[in-house]
Amino acid sequence: MLSLPFVWSDDCLRHEPEAEIWVGTRTAATEVPARALAIRRALAAAGAQEVPAVAHDDSAVLAVHDPALVEFLRTAWAEWSAADLPSDRVVPYIFARAELTGGRAPATPTAVWARPGLFAYDTMTLIGPGTWQAARAAVDVALTAVDLVAGGARVAYACCRPPGHHVTRSVYGGSCYLNNTAVAATELLARVGGPVAVVDVDAHHGNGTQEIFLGRDDVLTASVHVDPGAGWFPHFLGFAAENDAANLNVPLAPSTGDEGWLDAVRTAAELAEPARALIVALGVDAAADDPESPLEVTTAGYREAGRILGELGLPTVVVQEGGYDLATIGPLVVETLAGLAR
Ligand SMILES: [Zn+2]
């Protein structure tokens, strides 16, 4: 039996991206509502206690994100749908790169169809009718889990969807809109004191979280992920060259498997040792059955990763990130939490 609280919001199901535009082609979305439902079913069957998310005001979101990004996400669908455009989802076609404007702040485009290019850094991360409501609910889920841990729970799990770790302070991408992990870490820091640590075991580099806390020593960030140099998202970031005293990337070769992956998780856990509290950014897409990852970690490997992180003995908020195999996502989350909470 799994004796820990997990936070849930039905609103997280409202985001239905339907598709991703990948290398110019519309492909079926993998970040689907059924992911969260599969996790919820597995947690309930394992005996974890469901706690409804409590609404929190925007202060914790605005402590992490540029207000312009938040306002864009809040209004993007209404503006797009009112403009009667050929795409049924908000998608950028032009990108406001700093090099384009010679370092000047880009103008806010009058054309609704150009505006996503101020805030999106890829074409995969589409916005539809319930996207804002789901992304904002995912933040409430994470903040409610922080409340539980600040109130004395040793471990609380936040069933966040959509995920968040690819979102920087001002730009979104990677199927993520608001950085739930970074918001939770900032709030946890305010509640329990620092430093706090974020250990990200998603198969992909937590580039947004890294960028948000870059140069700070009160939030320690570690990420274990498939080597972006081997051709994996986010491609431009996630290398060991970005490491400093408060940020650790451990890029791994494809097909690394349990032994090498767990060594990397142990190295990441060491960075978290001085912390007062821990956020685990739990992506289960490093698992062997996942369509998005080549790392080939087993369910037993995830359980052991949970045990390694649990041995730190820190108050811990677990925030859901990636994981796309609907048959195994639930058991992988349950096993990781079982390792963490035992
Ligand atoms: Zn991932």
pLDDT of residue 253: 98
pLDDT of residue 108: 93
- Mean pLDDT of all residues in the chain? 97
pTM of the predicted model as reported, rounded to 2 decimal places: 0.98
Given a cut of 80, whether residue 342 has pLDDT beyond it is: no
pLDDT in tens, 191-239: 999 999 999 999 999 999 999 999 999 999 999 999 999 999 999 999 9
For the ranges 9-18, 72-81, 96-105, 155-164, the lowest mean pLDDT is seen at 96-105
User: Distance between CA 299 and CA 251 in Å, rounded?
Assistant: 20
Q: Mean per-residue pLDDT for 119-143?
A: 98
C-alpha 92 to ligand 1 mean position (Å): 22
3-class DSSP state of 277: strand
Going by pLDDT thresholds of 50, 70 and 90, the confidence category of residue 71 is: very high
C-alpha 174 to ligand 1 mean position (Å): 8
C-alpha 122 to ligand 1 mean position (Å): 15
Given a cut of 90, whether residue 317 has pLDDT beyond it is: yes
Quick one: which of 290, 21, 334, 61 has its CA closest to 186? 61
Given a cut of 80, whether residue 138 has pLDDT beyond it is: yes
Set 15, 56, 165, 166: catalytic member: 166
pLDDT of residue 268: 98
Query: 16: which 2 tokens?
Result: 């239905």
Going by pLDDT thresholds of 50, 70 and 90, the confidence category of residue 109 is: very high
C-alpha 308 to ligand 1 mean position (Å): 20
Alpha helices (H) in the chain, listed in sequence order: 33-45, 59-62, 67-82, 131-150, 180-192, 207-213, 257-272, 299-310, 329-341
In b/e form, how buried is each residue of 214-251, taking b as 16+ CB within 10 angstroms?
eeeeebbbbbbbbbbeeebbbeebbeeebeeebbbbbb
C-alpha 329 to ligand 1 mean position (Å): 12
pLDDT of residue 238: 98
Going by pLDDT thresholds of 50, 70 and 90, the confidence category of residue 57 is: very high
C-alpha 9 to ligand 1 mean position (Å): 21
C-alpha 20 to ligand 1 mean position (Å): 15
pLDDT in tens, 226-252: 999 999 999 999 999 999 999 999 999
pLDDT in tens, 84-97: 999 999 999 999 99
C-alpha 273 to ligand 1 mean position (Å): 24
User: Distance between CA 165 and CA 180 in Å, rounded?
Assistant: 7
Catalytic site residue 225? Answer: no
Going by pLDDT thresholds of 50, 70 and 90, the confidence category of residue 293 is: confident
Q: Mean per-residue pLDDT for 258-273?
A: 98
pLDDT of residue 213: 98
pLDDT of residue 143: 99
Given a cut of 90, whether residue 294 has pLDDT beyond it is: no
For the ranges 101-105, 128-132, 308-312, the lowest mean pLDDT is seen at 101-105
pLDDT in tens, 163-172: 999 999 999 9
Q: Mean per-residue pLDDT for 24-35?
A: 96
pLDDT in tens, 154-191: 999 999 999 999 999 999 999 999 999 999 999 999 99
